[in-house]
A = this chain, B = another copy of it.
Amino acid sequence: MKRFLQAITLASCSLLLAACGNLKNSDLASNSTTTTSKAKKYETTSSTDGGYSVLLKKGVYKTSPISGLEATNYDNSVDESAMERGLIRVSKKVFSTKDYVIQEGQQLDETTVTNWLGRYSKSNKEGLNLKSNGKTGSTTRNPIILQQIMEEDFYVKSGSSYKLAGISISLGLNSVDYYTKTTDGSEYSTKISLAKRRAFGQKTANTIVSRLHAKKKLKNIPIMVGLFSKTDTDSLVGGTYFSYGTASANSSKISKWNSVNEKTQVLPTVDGASAVSASDESKFTSFKDEIEDYFPNVSGVTATLRYYDGKLAYESIAITTQFYGYLQVQSFAQTVMSRAKKYLGTSSPVEITISSVNDTQAVVAKETATGSYRMHIYGGN
């Protein structure tokens, strides 16, 4: 059914988006029940536990003008999501969720960032990527290291309004830079070592900090910069942060870099790779084996585990099934929940999705490490 509904909703996209263009000046306020009340200039949407409240503008969510910009044609949506999620997580170390509210970055515009992501050249003196050295060999050329820039802004309440009080920037740094020698020609790639990413990232962060602090309105705003390693395009898991540092008000550089310890792993491991945690792997294997024994139509069970600072922080399990029966899904989800309680760890939130090829059929999840499992069966009774 969802597919049918999607067809409708997509068909009506252009219509609704056209209408949306006018909504920025909408005068709906947060708690109004009619459309005649005045909008508050600023509002926030409440957050989940431990998250930031989000600052709206005239009741409307503000999207960042630089979202989606990349230096080269790069395709790994897993990275995009890990990069944003991680930037917010690392930001919490600098800008407390109690004192600050968040808004997608509004200080960098599309033209600026497009120039910054380019190579340095006579025609683009703003370019942050290394200038071309004229070579095209994998190991001899200057690779594109800076692939993407993200920004998040942090505000504090000031009287009845909010004022900008912090900026977080993420630099998405390529582990592998893909390139062609001629348009539409074969794809080549240059590997970039962590040491090279780190040195380039730190230098580039300082350049950005000094450019931003040169602006009068940003002079006094602390700027956190996170360094994010993008993965190769085949990777099933998103990239990870390895370092961050903060430039205080007026400072033109980051003097201290802190390391970030993030790992992401898919289970079962492939090619005999060893698990980050043998204990987590063994719990998952017990869970998987029992699930596969109880139902005849389970076609795959995989887990993605995220470790922050050496501890399991999130476990997401995807179960793919061949069936689509209502009773099967109900009964299977019940079994999955009881086995999750029995086998899976108690130190992280857990998300288990049960999907056929076309649709998510059910989700079983506990939202916090110590929370209760709950299940939702799509389509109800």
The chain A residues found within 8 Å of chain B, CB to CB, are: 1-2, 4-6, 8-10, 12-13, 16-17, 19-20, 23-24, 26, 28, 33, 35, 45-48, 50-51, 54, 56, 59-61, 63, 67, 77-78, 80-81, 84-85, 88-89, 102, 104, 152, 236-238, 266, 286, 289-290, 292-302, 304, 306, 314, 316, 318, 320, 322-328, 330-332, 334-335, 338, 342, 349, 351, 353, 355, 357, 360, 363, 365, 367, 374-381
Contact = CB atoms under 8 A, between A and B. Distances in A.
Contact of A381 (B19, B80, B89, B334): B89
Contact of A316 (B322, B323, B379): B379
Given A33-B342, A80-B324, A314-B381, 10 more contacts: A6-B320, A8-B302, A9-B301, A9-B320, A10-B320, A13-B300, A48-B381, A63-B296, A84-B325, A363-B363
B78 A1 contact: yes
A330 B8 contact: no
Contacts of A50: 381
20 contacts: A5-B302, A9-B299, A9-B301, A9-B318, A12-B299, A13-B322, A16-B298, A24-B296, A26-B293, A28-B293, A33-B342, A48-B330, A60-B293, A61-B296, A63-B297, A80-B324, A81-B324, A84-B325, A306-B380, A363-B376
A interface SS class: mixed
A97 to B, nearest CB: 11
A295 B28 CA distance: 12
Contacts of A296: 20, 23-24, 60-61, 63
A299 B23 CA distance: 13
Contacts of A81: 1, 324, 326, 379
A327 B64 CA distance: 11
Max count, chain B CB within 10 A of own CB: residue among A102, A335, A381: A381
Nearest to A56: B294
A347 to B, nearest CB: 14
Contact of A67 (B47, B61, B304, B325): B325
A56 B33 CA distance: 51
Max count, chain B CB within 10 A of own CB: residue among A4, A45, A327: A327
Contacts of A152: 327
A300 B80 contact: no
A85 B33 CA distance: 37
